[in-house]
């Protein structure tokens, strides 16, 4: 870890919430794995929060692939789990598909979405931006329709991530996703 990351990240201080979702309309969500929401995973006042999050995620075997906002339409990923690390601004995100749970997130937070979890940007405050990262070996897709039976089976058979995107080998994912 670099010095900036060492001063910004304290695994013992990570507060997280879980959100268990049932299938909803065309959105499968994930019947086995809960959404994890890490509050202030990294101090939001950290200089270059994007670079800090990218180093943290990559160091925990979650490959950062892009920086942007979250799509403002309901969608999910059937071929990869997704970590969204908030690097600026605030947002309300609908988790679980149309009519799902509204979750407020802000700079420093991370949302871990198991494959199949619907999400959609509802509103923002400030310049809202996230880093999107995925476990090594998984490539994301964008789905806006129901999965076929064989696609659901493939989604449910995705390899389990080897580490938590925020806290590595000792993180909440390893307890909550077993």
Q: What pLDDT is attached to residue 13?
A: 64
Among 2-6, 32-36, 86-90, 129-133, the range scoring the smallest mean pLDDT is 2-6
Look at strands 82-95 and 110-113 and give their pairing. antiparallel
Total length of the chain = 178
Cα(81)–Cα(99) distance, rounded to whole angstroms?
A: 22
- pTM of the entire structure? 0.92
Q: Tell me what the mean pLDDT of segment 4-22 comes to.
A: 69
Hey, CA dihedral for 159, 164, 166, 169, is it positive or negative?
negative
> Hey, what CATH topology would domain 3-159 get?
Jelly Rolls (2.60.120)
The values of phi and psi at residue 5, to 5°, are: -65, -40
Predicted confidence at residue 155, as pLDDT, reads: 96
What value does the mean pLDDT take over residues 136-143?
A: 96
Residues sharing a CB contact under 8 Å with residue 114, sequence separation 6 or more, in sequence order: 30, 32, 33, 34, 35, 81, 177
Contact 74, 27 (CB under 8 A): yes
The tokens for 159 are 């390899």
What φ, ψ does residue 22 adopt, rounded to 5°? -90, 160
Q: Which residue has the tokens 């405050």?
A: 125
64-87 pLDDT, tens per residue?
Answer: 999 999 999 999 999 999 999 999
Residue ranges per structural domain of the chain: 3-159
């Amino acid at each position: 870890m670099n010095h900036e990351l060492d001063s910004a990240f304290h695994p013992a201080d990570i507060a997280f919430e879980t959100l268990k979702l049932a299938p909803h309309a065309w959105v499968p969500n994930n019947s086995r794995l809960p959404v994890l929401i890490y509050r202030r995973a990294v101090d939001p006042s950290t200089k270059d929060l994007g670079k800090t999050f990218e180093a943290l995620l990559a160091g925990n075997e979650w490959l950062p692939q892009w920086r942007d906002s979250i799509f403002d339409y309901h969608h999910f990923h059937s071929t990869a789990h997704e970590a969204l690390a908030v690097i600026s601004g605030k947002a309300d995100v609908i988790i679980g598909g149309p009519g799902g749970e509204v979750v407020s997130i802000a700079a420093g937070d991370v949302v871990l979405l198991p494959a199949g979890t619907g999400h959609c940007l509802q509103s923002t405050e400030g310049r809202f931006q996230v880093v999107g990262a995925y476990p090594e070996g998984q490539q994301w897709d964008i789905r806006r329709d129901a999965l076929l039976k064989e696609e659901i089976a493939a989604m449910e058979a995705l390899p389990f991530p080897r580490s938590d995107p925020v806290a590595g080998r000792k993180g909440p994912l390893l307890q909550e996703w077993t």
